[in-house]
Amino acid sequence: MAFERPTLTEIVERSQADFVSRLETMGAVLRRSVVHVLARVVAGASHMLHGHLDYVSRQIFPDLSERDFLLRQASLYGIQPSPATFAEAVVTVTGTDGAPVPTGTVLLRSDGAEYVTTADVTIVDEEAAVPVIAREAGADGTLETGVALTFESPLAGVAGEAFVASSTTAGEDEEDTEDLRSRLLARLQSPPHGGSAADYVAWAREVPGVTRAWCYPGELGAGTVVVRFVRDDDADPLPADEAVAAVQAYIDEVRPVTAAVTVIAPVAVPLAMSIQLVPNTTATRAAAHAELEDLLRRVATPGETIPISRLRGAVAAAEGVSDYTILSPAGDITHAPGELATLGPITWS
């Protein structure tokens, strides 16, 4: 039988009863009596200790522990959170021909974010492309094309404002607690086997930004392994060529020497739906949409079938929905190898 933490009231009553039985008091315990006061003091200390034990008991298990304890548990298996990365971009600077823009020059975004030039550049034909890197790591440092930056200190012959020509590398935040937890749980449930399918999934997820990955042994023939992955925290979860190359390079470092590994991005197949909701309100639509997105993130797998029952269950679980009918799709959704279901347009009625 599981232990249930007693409430403060229950502890007070137990303490008071213990005092009464041992002191053999005959009358009622008055509100300002010594017994009444001592019972509450002891009960308060006991309740605090129960709370601490309850907290510690949750930190023992990686599926319940808080981040500080989870980091310690993960480190025992050599798992570290993916570090934050620095955003990089190329900005267009204008000015007088021959004017230099030295390495280490600081530019500022309108919100105060700082960027530092990483190469010595000289203006030619009244402009120059200057590479910059964010001073602080994280997704907030990512620059969009066309964003204006201003020089922290004026440069002779250089206009005070520059514009982002291209964002070469998006910044990444440090891996969040739940993604780290899922990697640790996967490591505990599927220990390394010297190149099993689970190993390739784990290796792919060790690359910063990768949230889900799948392994397909033998897809391209005997001795081959195909790895697909997505980056759910990006604006587009399907990885760009640079992200695919990064995962390919990392897996090539850790894979068995005999395996021929190919890392590719899955092909997105938007799932269009038509749903009748009761009540059909903005709130219930948003709730159903969120449930469906969460479902696809949990169960969508390249090349696999999504049962219609799972879609129905997601809509039924949406807060505020009392009744519903999924008009389309009418049945299970199947996908060809490499195809990954994503949530497409939804028609509400």
Determine the pLDDT at residue 157.
Answer: 93
How much of the chain, in percent, has pLDDT values that exceed 90? 75
Q: What is the mean pLDDT of the chain?
A: 91
**From the CB of residue 174, how many other CB atoms can be counted at a distance below 10 Å?**
15
Residue 195 confidence class, pLDDT cut points 50, 70, 90: confident
The average pLDDT across 197-221 equals 92
Separation of alpha carbons 57 and 67, rounded Å: 15
Is there a common fold for 88-169 and 190-264?
no
The average pLDDT across 329-345 equals 92
The average pLDDT across 100-111 equals 95
Span 190-264: which CATH code?
3.30.300
Q: List Cβ neighbours of 150 (8 Å cut-off, separation of 6 or more).
A: 107, 108, 160, 161, 162
- Residue with the bigger pLDDT between 47 and 3: it is 47
What value does the CA radius of gyration of the chain take, rounded to a whole number of Å? 29
Architecture of domain 88-169: Beta Barrel (2.40)
Determine the pLDDT at residue 39.
Answer: 87
The answer on pLDDT for 5 being more than 70 is: yes
The average pLDDT across 106-111 equals 95
Separation of alpha carbons 325 and 312, rounded Å: 8
Does pTM surpass 0.75? no
Question: Residue ranges of the domains in the chain?
Answer: 8-59, 88-169, 190-264, 268-348
